[in-house]
Amino acid sequence: MQASRCTAAAVPAAPATNLPRCRRRVVRAAAARRPAASQQQRDADRQQEAQQPQQLGLTPLQKVATGAAGLLASAVLLTAPGSALAADTAAVGTCLLQNCQAALAQCLTDVTCAENLVCLQLCNGRPDETECQIKCGDKYSDKAVETFTACAVSEKKCVPQRIDEDAYPVPPDSALDNSFDLSNFQGRWYITAGLNPLFDTFDCQEHFFASPEPNKVFAKINWRIPMSDALTGDQDFIERSVMQKFVQEDPAKQPSVLVNKDNEFLNYQDTWYVLAFKPDNYVFIYYRGQNDAWLGYGGATVYTRTSTLPREDIPELKAAAERAGLDWSKFTITNNSCPPHPPKAALPEKLRVAAVRRTAQAEYELENDLRSFGRGFTVLEKDLSNKLRRTENTIVEDIKAVGQVEKKLEQTAGKAEKLIEKEVEEVEAAAARMIRRFEAEAKMGPWINWIPKSWRPVIMPMD
């Protein structure tokens, strides 16, 4: 990347007693038409049912919790192996109910988090299931999503980590460009080509870099996520932005290697490898990373000063890709035209289209014996509210106890942390000031070229 990198299991089928009344009649009628089974066959059937108690014994609340496991692919572009999760969905649901009750309850009552659950459930069984789930995480992200993901993945480890160590191997030293100069990698850059469609090929990837200290660079990463209007389905987009810090850990021997680590959320860590570098023209980066949900994701991006990839640079970039074992033909040229939001439809027309869409949704809900709890969120009705209500008092008491312990720990360790935080904040503040000036310069367009670089800090100070 790019954007922050961060699966839903198929919910086991409900037993016949949970089917709608009309379906139960059909089941009974079909059973009546079947010839009587032999005693040996009946014994075999009972033995098979006894070996599958978890699948047949899931309550609707456990099914919701199991489906909520799919949320863990959200936000920073994260996923767990679908096969492993599907093989043990009951264990995941049980783990969430036992260890993440408060986070799960908060998620179910949060609109964004709930919409994410629905989005992930719609990905189940699709050929592009993993890609679909990651896109759900791109679209729906807030504090409730992060809290639930952190509990289920990092703190309680309800979801197994996906292992793809060989998918994006460390490139050979001969493929790196150690002429890379970090001081030249500042100001505004665009991602104009990307390898991994999950992370690298978003629209409008305008990034700003600042290096307030030697061997460190801060990046303000911006990108767009395609979205559709909740009422009409019209296409639009949302904008995302995140700050990241990269460090040259061995600038003398490997200036082309930048590391982003020591991140609290999912303990994610990315390593960038500079494959090719032309000052004030392009920086070709290959990356690989890991977090608590996924070990071994990766990709590659081309940064250029211009918003489109210069065609004359493609032969050099293709050669650099080959040295690293990459196929340039698999890269996608990005769209950095950054058009404005499309005009909004008039409210009467939106309401008319929404009514049609809502009618179709209502028919689906009735067919599946479901109940709607608000915009875009549908959940199984039976047992949910009662079970959540019975656990509410226990959750509140647990939260109070944890809060008291945390307060004591904060009082004993506060002074040292404040000193460290102050030093870090000073560096981050300096980077933020530099990025604000770079953004101001970018907004001036070609007029900025009329101002000598030595005058710019005076005309547009960073303070």
What's the CATH code of the domain at 314? 2.40.128.20
Q: What confidence score (pLDDT) does residue 85 get?
A: 43
User: Quick one: 205 and 287 in the same domain?
Assistant: yes
Residue at a domain's end among 160, 184, 203: 160
In this structure, are residues 324 and 177 in contact, taking their beta carbons and an 8 Å threshold?
Answer: no
Residue at a domain's end among 160, 186, 218: 160
User: Quick one: 63 and 148 in the same domain?
Assistant: yes
State how many domains the chain has.
Answer: 3
User: Quick one: 326 and 193 in the same domain?
Assistant: yes
Give residue 211's domain range: 173-333
pTM beyond 0.85, yes or no: no
CB atoms within 10 A of CB 47: 9
Assigned domain for 59 exists: yes
The pLDDT > 70 percentage for the chain reads 56
User: Quick one: 156 and 186 in the same domain?
Assistant: no
User: Quick one: 156 and 255 in the same domain?
Assistant: no
In this structure, are residues 197 and 219 in contact, taking their beta carbons and an 8 Å threshold?
Answer: no
Q: What confidence score (pLDDT) does residue 218 get?
A: 94
Q: What confidence score (pLDDT) does residue 95 get?
A: 87
Assigned domain for 461 exists: no
Please enumerate in sequence order all residues whose Cβ is within 8 A of that of 204, keeping only pairs 6 or more positions apart, or say none: 222, 223, 224, 239, 335, 336, 337, 338
123-139 pLDDT, tens digit each = 877 888 778 888 888 88
User: Quick one: 201 and 326 in the same domain?
Assistant: yes
User: Quick one: 130 and 189 in the same domain?
Assistant: no
Rounded to the nearest 10 degrees, the angle between the axes of helix 129-139 and helix 111-121 is 170
Assigned domain for 305 exists: yes
Q: What confidence score (pLDDT) does residue 369 get?
A: 46
Ranges under pLDDT 70 in the chain: 1-89, 230-232, 345-427, 431, 437-438, 441, 443-451, 453-463
Residue at a domain's end among 160, 186, 201: 160
200-233 pLDDT, tens digit each = 999 999 999 999 999 999 999 999 999 887 666 7
User: Quick one: 196 and 277 in the same domain?
Assistant: yes
User: Quick one: 196 and 152 in the same domain?
Assistant: no
User: Quick one: 278 and 301 in the same domain?
Assistant: yes
Assigned domain for 168 exists: no
